[in-house]
Amino acid sequence: MPAPVAEALRRANLPASAVSVVIQPVDQSAPLLTHNADAAMNPASVMKLVISAAALDTLGPAATWKTRVYALQSPDAQGVLRSDLYLQGGGDPKLTLERLWLLLHELRERGVREIRGDVIVDRSFFTNISGDTGAFDNEPLKPQNTLPDALLLNYNSVRFDFLLAPGVVRTTLRIVAMPEIPLNIINRVRVTHANGCGDWREAITVDYAPQAVPPQITFTGNYPESCGDKPWYFSLHARHDEFLRAAFEQIWSEVGGRWTPTSPARLHEGALPEQAVPLLEFESPPLADVLRDINKFSNNVMARNLFLTLGKGEDTQPATLAQAAQRVGDWLKGIGINAPELVLENGSGLSRAERISARHLAAVLQYAWRSPWMPEYISSLSLFGVDGTTRRRYHDNHAAGQAHLKTGSLNDARALAGFVRAQSGKRFILVWLVNDTRAREALPAQEALLDWLYQQ
């Protein structure tokens, strides 16, 4: 271990056994530096690098997900669809509200003006993944805890816009939900003149009462005027159909459509009938674009959908987590990486069970460097100190702007991995994994390692 790194670890009271490191020239098989490289470590969100490489290699950078729209008959000459409308999810990780607007606008352009029936959702592309969304960190409202869904809308998250309204006497704050779902917003936030914005969310408590009619969310605390307008995202709906129904109704109306449901449920889950008539096929952005969101911004929800997609075979059976883990393991063996320590739970790294060694993670990165899809892979990573998850840190580090890296962070794990261009012009693979209850104290050692590597 380089002396500055060892000293930083000593000051942080972190044992060397808690750290795994591999540094390797991209064009050589022999590493420049290894430490504890074969230990099975929790890589946190750096596990996304494995899933991303597997996806690019097996699906291809141009691969897309498809959301299909069906009915039992075509609309009549007046644009009236006298049938239920079927939405068949294809696992699209990036079906945002804006893209749902495009989908429904295109449906209207195809001649559907009015739906006289229910909207039925077919999610059979994935197996049903159920569980307690608050089990990981006791934060069930965090969008990152949203479970995979074959018809996942907007990451199942509601955006609350905190909007300042300057007045003659004082500045007031409005809180507006997007989409406009049935929800009672109680605003008990006071605008202050505190200097700086900082982590403004820490000064606000949120209480959600889903059992109220309509559901009620209360914001209480202080909001610095210097923050300006800010968004805050919450996953309020344990049942995704509730959110999808509200968004569908609002956006379908916005594009000029009418909807006359035939049951109180209005929108519900069901199987696509064999006799259904296709009306529309809506494609996601290509995989290469989706990976930028997954890796630059560490989007766990999208990563989970991508992981399950890897478990989808050629047959009509729903993809399962076990199949996805098996296929990623088989892919690794197929490219010559035998990783018996590998544990994959959901592919996002938001897990206390997932494991991989620094050596095998470095091998994945070297395989990616030598692959034809290398540009798409590297461009999906955060440009160190410039964008993504590293944008607000590391500005003074010598490697700022000279590396493409993926960060990982859990309470007892810190990780950094990717590609670094040293001062000499040489390019290196870097894998840095720390597992310890004091892992958050490893940042100075991590920066010392980056400074040392930049000087090579």
Q: What is the pLDDT of residues 50-63, one digit of tens each?
A: 999 999 999 999 99
Q: Indicate if 35 and 87 belong to the same structural domain.
A: no
- Among candidate residues 222, 256, 285, the one where a domain is terminated: 285
Provide the CATH number for the domain around residue 394: 3.40.710.10
- Residues ≥6 apart with Cβ < 8 Å to 67: 87, 88, 89, 90, 92, 95, 103, 151, 281, 282, 284
Residues above pLDDT 90, as percent of the chain: 83
Q: Indicate if 86 and 54 belong to the same structural domain.
A: no
Higher pLDDT, 394 or 271: 271
Q: Indicate if 301 and 413 belong to the same structural domain.
A: yes
Phi-psi sector, 431: left (phi>0), alpha (psi -120 to 50), beta: beta
Q: Indicate if 345 and 381 belong to the same structural domain.
A: yes
Q: Indicate if 114 and 251 belong to the same structural domain.
A: yes
Provide the CATH number for the domain around residue 83: 3.50.80.20
Average pLDDT over residues 223-251: 91
Average pLDDT over residues 360-364: 99
Look up residue 280 and give its amino acid.
L
Name the nearest CA neighbour of 282 among 134, 69, 110: 69
Query: In this structure, what are the phi and psi dihedrals at residue 399, rounded to the nearest 5 degrees?
Result: -85, 0
To 10 degrees, the CA torsion angle through 312, 316, 322, 323? -50
**Which pLDDT does position 168 carry in this prediction?**
57
CA 445 to chain centre: 28
pLDDT over 80 at 170, yes or no: no
DSSP-derived letter for residue 353 is S
Q: Indicate if 292 and 412 belong to the same structural domain.
A: yes
Q: Indicate if 228 and 251 belong to the same structural domain.
A: no
- Among candidate residues 206, 234, 262, the one where a domain is terminated: 234
- Residue 218 is part of which domain span? 158-234
Question: Which run of H or of E encompasses 218?
Answer: strand 216-224
pLDDT over 90 at 388, yes or no: no
Give the integer Cα–Cα distance in Å for 49 and 354: 13
CA 335 to chain centre: 26
Is residue 370 exposed (0-12), middle (13-18) or buried (19+ Cβ within 10 Å)? exposed
Are 248 and 100 spatial neighbours (Cβ–Cβ below 8 Å)? yes
Q: Indicate if 327 and 415 belong to the same structural domain.
A: yes
| Alpha-carbon distances of 55 from 49, 175, 313, 423, rounded to whole Å | 10, 39, 13, 32
Q: Indicate if 270 and 393 belong to the same structural domain.
A: no
Q: Indicate if 367 and 447 belong to the same structural domain.
A: yes
Q: How many domains does the chain have?
A: 3
pLDDT over 80 at 343, yes or no: yes
Give the integer Cα–Cα distance in Å for 110 and 411: 50
**Which pLDDT does position 8 carry in this prediction?**
96
Q: Indicate if 56 and 75 belong to the same structural domain.
A: no
Percentages helix, strand, coil for the chain (3-state, rounded to 5) are 30, 25, 45
The sign one gets for the Cα dihedral 8, 11, 16, 17 is negative
Among 38-42, 130-134, 317-321, which is the least confidently predicted range?
130-134
Mean pLDDT (the chain) is 94
Q: Tokens for 23?
A: 């540094």
CA 133 to chain centre: 15
- Residues ≥6 apart with Cβ < 8 Å to 84: 71, 72, 117, 118, 119, 120, 262
Q: Indicate if 39 and 87 belong to the same structural domain.
A: no
- Among candidate residues 285, 318, 352, the one where a domain is terminated: 285
